[in-house]
Amino acid sequence: MNFLKSCREFARRNLSILLGVGLLLLLVQDVVGTHGVLAMRRSKQEAADIQKEINRLESENCNMEQGVENLKSDPQTIERIARDEMGLAKPGEYIFKLPPNAGAAPWTQLGSVSASSAVCRAAPPATTSAAPQPR
């Protein structure tokens, strides 16, 4: 009986301290626990990174689909590939292949890019910088 009485007396005297420590432990659990604030921030950041990757891949996929469509139907694209990559020429034309000039500007070595009127609306355009194109 004496032990039980001393436990009650201890609890009455230190109730506010025990409640404060319990509340502090709950707050710490809420901030750094497995489902706490920090974990939620980390999860949101990962979700944003994954969404950026999805948008980039959708844009890349759209560009590839447009390239396939150009290869199927755009005569200028087909002619450019036949001339530049396969070395073909029209009847009566001659092809002279020169070695690349080491001191030439980098944009002179790039092939021409044909623009198509069809635009892919699946994803926003990629935000990558491109080399300047000759005019």
Q: pLDDT-based confidence at 104, cuts 50/70/90?
A: low
Per-residue confidence (pLDDT) for residue 57, from 0 to 100: 97
Could you give the CA distance from residue 27 to residue 35 in angstroms, rounded to a whole number?
A: 12
Work out how many domains the chain is built from and give that number: 2
Q: Is 117 inside any structural domain?
A: no
Q: Is 89 inside any structural domain?
A: no
Could you give the CA distance from residue 60 to residue 69 in angstroms, rounded to a whole number?
A: 14
3-state secondary structure the chain: CHHHHHHHHHHHHCHHHHHHHHHHHHHHHHHHCCCCHHHHHHHHHHHHHHHHHHHHHHHHHHHHHHHHHHHHHCHHHHHHHHHHCCCCCCCCCCCCCCCCCCCCCHHHHCCCCCCCCCCCCCCCCCCCCCCCCCC
pTM for this model (two decimals): 0.49
CB 77 within 8 A of CB 70: yes
Per-residue confidence (pLDDT) for residue 123, from 0 to 100: 47
Same domain, 26 and 48: no
Per-residue confidence (pLDDT) for residue 125, from 0 to 100: 46
Q: Is 61 inside any structural domain?
A: yes
What dihedral angle (degrees, nearest 10) is formed by the CA atoms of 6, 8, 9, 14?
A: 120
Q: pLDDT-based confidence at 60, cuts 50/70/90?
A: very high
Which structural domain, as residue segments, surrounds residue 27? 1-32
Same domain, 1 and 27: yes
